[in-house]
Amino acid sequence: MMAKLLHFLLAEDDEDHAELILRSLKRHRVGNTVDHVFDGVEAMEYLRGEAQYVGKPRPDVLLLDLNMPRMGGHEVLMKVKEDPVLCTIPIVILTTSDAESDRLRAYRHHANSYLVKPLDYNQFSKMVDELGLYWGVWNRPCIG
Amino acid sequence: MMRATKFLLVEDDDDHAELVLRNLRRQCGPDSVDRVADGVEAMEYLRQEGEHAGRPRPDVILLDLNMPRMGGHEVLARVKADPRLCTIPVVVFTTSENAIDVSRAYERHVNSYLVKPADFAQFQKMAGDLGLYWGVWNRPLGNIE
C-alpha cells in the first residue's frame, strides 16, 4: 500500500508538544522520518535548503504550529503556498488556537487541515496517532 | 465537538458510495453525510440551487475524480476559485494513482488526496479513518461569512 516512506517536518516551539508529537510519529509509523525546527524562520530555511539545512529532503507533510517566535505559522503558510516549488506540500496546522479568525485565515491561505491540540494528554496523544496514520499512510503526497 | 461535521460525498459509483456512507454514518452520526452522483449536482448542492435549495454548507467535501457530466478536477477548480466555498476542505477520493492527477489536484489546492484501496478490508479501514480524521479531529471553519 505504501509507495514510499514519508518525511515529516514539524515546526513547533513548545518542547513538550514537540516531544510528544515526535515520539508518537516515530513510534507508530513504520519507517517514516521526521525533522523538527523551532520557529518559522528555521522552517523556511529548511524548506528552501538554506543555511544549516543544505541538502535536507523536501518534506512530504509540514506540521505547523501558529504561535512561534521570529516568524509565526500564518506567515510560513502564506510563503509556502505562494511558492511555486513548495506549494504542493500539505500543511497541517497544529495549534492551541480555536479562534475562528485563525481558522478562517488558515483555510483562506490553503492550509490542508486545521487541528486544535487537546488539553488532555491522552486526547493529544490519540490525535497525533491519528494524524500520523492519516498523513503518513493514507494520504498520497505530491512527488517533487 | 460543538456540532457534528457535515460531509458531502460526490461519487458516481453506488458500491463505493454505499461503503463510504456506511462508515461515515457509523463514525459521525446518521445525518453526517449527503451524497450526490456527479460534479454538476455537486455544484448545485454547494450553491444551493434547484432541488438543493436550503441545503447546509458542508464542512468537508469527499470528491471522486472520474464522474459523468462534470469530473472532480473541474469541481475542485470551481470550489477553490469561489470565495464563498474555497475554505471548505476538499478530499479527493479516487481509484487514480496517476501522478498527473495527483499533482494537478495539489496545484488546485486539494486538501488531501486518497487512493481507494482495491482490497475490501483496506477500503473499509480507510473510509473509517478518513471519517475519524475529518469528522472528529480536523476543525472546519463552520458557517461563518
Instruction: Give the whole-angstrom CA distance, residue B145 versus residue B85.
Output: 10
Instruction: Give the whole-angstrom CA distance, residue A122 versus residue A124.
Output: 5
Which among A87, A98, A114 is the nearest to B138, CB-wise? A114
Q: Which residues of B touch A133 (CB under 8 A)?
A: 129
Which among A98, A104, A139 is the nearest to B113, CB-wise? A139
pLDDT score recorded for residue B124: 92
Pick among B3, B85, B95, B111 to test the A interface (most A CBs inside 10 A): B111
Chain A residues whose C-beta is within 8 A of a chain B C-beta are 1, 81, 87-88, 90, 98, 100, 103-104, 107-108, 110, 112-116, 127, 130-131, 133-134, 138-143
pLDDT score recorded for residue A3: 52
pLDDT score recorded for residue B1: 44
Instruction: Give the whole-angstrom CA distance, residue B16 versus residue A64.
Output: 33
Mean pLDDT computed over B71-91: 97
pLDDT over 60 (residue B30): yes
Query: Taking Cα atoms as reference points, which of B92, B132, B97 lies closest to residue B112?
Result: B92
3-state per-residue secondary structure call for A26-76: HHHCCCCEEEEECCHHHHHHHHHCCHHHCCCCCCCEEEECCCCCCCCHHHH
- Judge whether B84 is closer than 8 Å to chain A, CB to CB: no
Tell me which residues of chain A have a pLDDT lower than 50: 1-2
Which among B130, B141, B144 is the nearest to A138, CB-wise? B130
Residue B121 cell numbers, joined: 478490508
pLDDT score recorded for residue A6: 86
pLDDT over 90 (residue B3): no
Distance from the Cα of B114 to chain A's closest Cα (Å) equals 5
Percentage of the residues of chain B whose pLDDT score is greater than 90: 90
Question: Minimal Cα distance from A93: which residue of B?
Answer: B138
pLDDT score recorded for residue B2: 53
Mean pLDDT computed over B15-35: 92
Q: Residue A100: in which H helix or E strand, if any?
A: helix A100-108
Q: Which residues of A touch B126 (CB under 8 A)?
A: 138
pLDDT score recorded for residue A99: 96
- Judge whether B138 is closer than 8 Å to chain A, CB to CB: yes
Q: Which residues of B touch A1 (CB under 8 A)?
A: 117, 122
Instruction: Work out how many CB contacts closer than 8 A connect A with B.
Output: 77
Distance, first Cα to last Cα, chain A: 20
pLDDT score recorded for residue A2: 47
